[in-house]
Amino acid sequence: MRAQSAAGANSGIMLYNSVAERLELQRTATHVFSSPINAAGYTTIWTPAVGKKFRLMGYSYYLQSTATWASAAYYIHIRDSTTVLDTIWQSLAACTGPPGVLQETVRFPGNGILSATIVNPLRIYLLGVMTAGQLWFKCWGTEEES
């Protein structure tokens, strides 16, 4: 018997979901979003369609070589609306060199992280003031029925 395919899933490959204690189809990212971030506070990266949740499967970021900060300490939160999913800590007064001098790619294990409720946005929260340059953020995942 072959597994039925769901949106954003590959039929045939099953993964164990330890939270739900069941097997699930392995998802394949169907959505990719990219955005520059240079303002303190929230930046919305992904708002799922009505009646759907996002499933964050991974992200990457890089800081432009021209980026400078007003203070030596800052942090970046990746949030499911206001709930912190991941934190990127840095302590940097200025960055010099080629683009991508500060960069990272994160892939979440299994099928990634499913949003807590429908239509919650995926947002980036930046604490710190950039005086020049930008932080580029890219994420990928799926949208699923609740």
- In tens, the pLDDT along 44-57 reads 999 999 999 999 99
Q: How far apart are alpha carbons 58 and 106 in whole angstroms?
A: 5
Q: What is the mean pLDDT of the chain?
A: 79
Q: Rounded to a whole number, what is the distance in angstroms from the first to the last CA of the chain?
A: 26
Report which of 63, 84, 87 is spatially closest to residue 76, judged by C-alpha positions: 87
Q: What pLDDT, on the 0 to 100 scale, is given for residue 10? A: 56
- What domains can be seen in the chain, in order of their start residue? 29-145 (2.60.120)
Over the chain (146 residues), the average pLDDT of each successive run of 10 is 46 74 86 88 93 93 74 77 81 48 79 91 85 85 88
Q: What pLDDT, on the 0 to 100 scale, is given for residue 46? A: 95
Q: How far apart are alpha carbons 146 and 142 in whole angstroms?
A: 12
pTM for the whole thing? 0.78
Q: What pLDDT, on the 0 to 100 scale, is given for residue 38? A: 80
Q: What pLDDT, on the 0 to 100 scale, is given for residue 11? A: 55
Q: Strands, E, within the chain: which ranges?
A: 9-17, 22-27, 31-37, 41-46, 52-63, 68-69, 73-80, 83-91, 102-107, 113-114, 122-127, 130-132, 135-145
Q: What pLDDT, on the 0 to 100 scale, is given for residue 94? A: 47
CB 104 within 8 A of CB 86: no
Q: How far apart are alpha carbons 101 and 64 in whole angstroms?
A: 7
